[in-house]
Structure 1
Amino acid sequence: MATRDLERLGQHLDWNLLRTFMVIVQEQGVTRAATRLCLTQPAVSQALKRLEDQLGRTLIERGQGRFRVTEAGEVIYAEVLEIYGNISRFGVLVRDIREEISGHIRILLASRIHSHLFDRMLERFHATHPQVTFRLDVMASADVHTAIQQKTGSLGICLMREPPPLVEHALFMRQLFRFYCGPRHPLFGRRDLSLNDLRGEKFVSFTSDQIGGVLSPLTVFRAQEGIESRVVGASVNLEEVRRMIVAGLGIGPLPQHVAERDVRDGLLWPLPPEEGVAPVDIHLLWNPAAKMNRAERAFIELCRAAVEAIPLDRRFDAEAVDAWIGRQFEAA
């Protein structure tokens, strides 16, 4: 492409075409991209064609059952992510200049993250920096990955099967999942149960409890043990999975430390195996390429310091957490 053509392209390229292309890649298809963008499928296909025509390159190879981002498409996608992230940060950058050392922190979390460590960090950080504002949004782990890639969130706390590209991560805590049933279920209160008693029972779980999902260890365990029960309910939200279990729709998995209070209150009953089903890791995610305000940088550094200093097996230990938090903020 000649220099004059490149200059003309830079002046006239439509950002909406780039955004549409970005969503097509993220959704791995035109149909799903059209749904997310609230557009028709032909409109999305036409936008992709216009962008490819303007660039003079094929960005996505499509056919029956085939979807592949070309080498040129991968290059453009990486650049579009950078552009999108920078544009989305304009408000943060301006606010940071105006507010000096204060700032806004947006934290994206998977549902029902129970962590004394996270709670104490929020508490002490706010007490030390009262001008900092927070926004906590709950969403599916896959959406957290995308948002951190696009730099629309400061920090993600979520499940992760494989590290998403362009982000850094640290293991925050390890949850042990176990099967439970509610008080209306015929297995409730029984202590003489084995895994064999669970076979054939109706099942509720998370939408990511499938091969390739972030909760695939649960799927593998059920397959290995022959617990291929009919799934009667599913949700991306832990609270809604818990609701279905308590309501008696079926047995289902929950993190053991989350379910402890419900077990004590008689709302849930733990089922075999006693050693639990599978450990599932919760990770911290952040984007090192994001232009962050001082509050964001300070909070992420606090989180990183916590996971480096507190052993993994003691991050549910309130005494160990409180002692570390006290040392971190004693001079403040």
Structure 2
Amino acid sequence: MDLRSLRYFLAVAEQGGFTAAAERLHIAQPAVSMAIRKLEQTLDLQLFDRQERRVRLTDEGEVLARHARHILQAVNDAERELHELHGLSRGEVRVGIPSMLGSYYFPPILMAFRQRYPGIRLEVVEAGTRKLQQMIHQGDIDMGVIVTDTPPDDLETHSFLRDQMMAILPRDHPLAHADNVSYDAFFAEELVLFKEGYFHREVIDRISREAGVTPHIGFEANLIPLIKQIVSHGYGITTLLAMVVADDPTLVARPFSPPVWLDLSLAWRRGHRLSRANQTFVDLVLEQATHRRDG
């Protein structure tokens, strides 16, 4: 029993005859008769009562017709959904992004994606990079942004941004007039930092261990507007990407000496085939990254 036979069978049942069914199907009438005869032989059942001029379904035929309608409808639905996905009119993207990038780097990308593919549902999860890796493994998100200084072997990564972590200072801070900020000078200050698990906190923890110092952490917060307010009022300094304070006249970004570079990538489970919607999102992120570098 194949789909073509079921389509021919339903056409005969709905048209009430083999000739009318053949006309609707745009095929020769003998082909319809042969397909129905083969279907009856396969099932070892009589599906039509042919004693009258207008053929009618037998009881067995009625049962098959009910199931055939469901089967063909399901096939049609599947074909339509696959066609829609191919055309990117439907689908879902679940991406995890740390708050710093989610607030200052990704909004134009997310809006561009939404404008191009309004039928695709976009779910954005905010979390630290370590949490995002865990969520990728658990299947809670399709992909996430991670730091790829030491990329995990079980994740496939595509780099989209290389940027410096900067010391962020009030404009009237003595270090604000320096060309750069040494690690010793930075760690001599009271610090405002993200909580553990976020990439910018991990960078500071790593540098402090390498320098053999214990940071003076006055505030821990994951709310970037709060961090900026605390720093601008002189209650500590922090480290962020320069894009975060680019439009804030009360804050100054200065590079570290030696500089601290971050390589950020989109990551997903290695060996996991991305859906067309997810692959399209990755392509857009990489496309925007290329435009950013070239611009």
TM-score by length of 1: 0.51
Structure 2: distance between partners of 1:234 and 1:202: 11
Structure 2 SS opposite 1:250: coil
Secondary structure of the structure 1 residue equivalent to 2:189? coil
Aligned partners of 2:93 and 2:170: how far apart in 1? 38
Q: Secondary structure at the match of 1:261?
A: coil
- TM-fit CA distance, 1:118: 4.7
CA 1:128–1:276: 2 relative to 1, 3 Å: same
Once the two structures are superposed, residues 255-293 of structure 1 have per-residue CA deviations (whole angstroms, 9 ceiling, x without a partner) of: 12322222xx2x2133564x6740112110122555754
Could you tell me how far 1:156 is from its partner in structure 2? 0.8
Q: CA RMSD in A?
A: 3.9
2:188 aligned residue = 200
- The residue that corresponds to 1:316 in the other structure is 292
> Could you tell me which residue of structure 1 aligns to residue 281 of structure 2?
299
Q: Greater Rg, structure 1 or structure 2?
A: 2
AA aligned opposite 1:281: D
Change beyond 3 A, Cα 1:180–1:285: same
Aligned length: 212
2:110 alignment partner in structure 1: 122
Question: Aligned AA for 1:249?
Answer: Y
Instruction: Please report how far the alpha carbon of residue 151 of structure 1 lies from its aligned counterpart in structure 2 after TM superposition.
Output: 1.7
Higher strand share: 2
- The one-letter amino acid of 2:269's match is N
Q: What are the residue-to-residue correspondences of 1:1-332 with 2, within 5 Å?
A: 97=81, 100-101=84-85, 102-113=90-101, 118-182=106-170, 186-187=173-174, 190=177, 195=182, 198=186, 200-208=188-196, 215-222=201-208, 228-236=214-222, 238-262=224-248, 265=249, 267-271=250-254, 273=256, 277-290=259-272, 293-303=275-285, 310=290, 316-317=292-293, 320=294
Aligned partner letter, 1:231: I
Partner in structure 1 of residue 64 of structure 2: none
Unmatched tracts of structure 1, length 5 or more: 1-93, 322-332
Output the CA distance in 1 between the equivalents of 2:262 and 2:179: 27
Question: Quick one: structure 1 residues 150 and 131, their matched pair in 2 at CA, closer, same or farther if it must change by over 3 Å?
Answer: same
**Structure 2 residues without counterparts, runs of 5 or longer:** 1-77
Cα distance change on mapping 1:227 and 1:127 into 2, 3 Å? same
C-alpha contact 1:140 1:237 (8 A) present in aligned 2? no
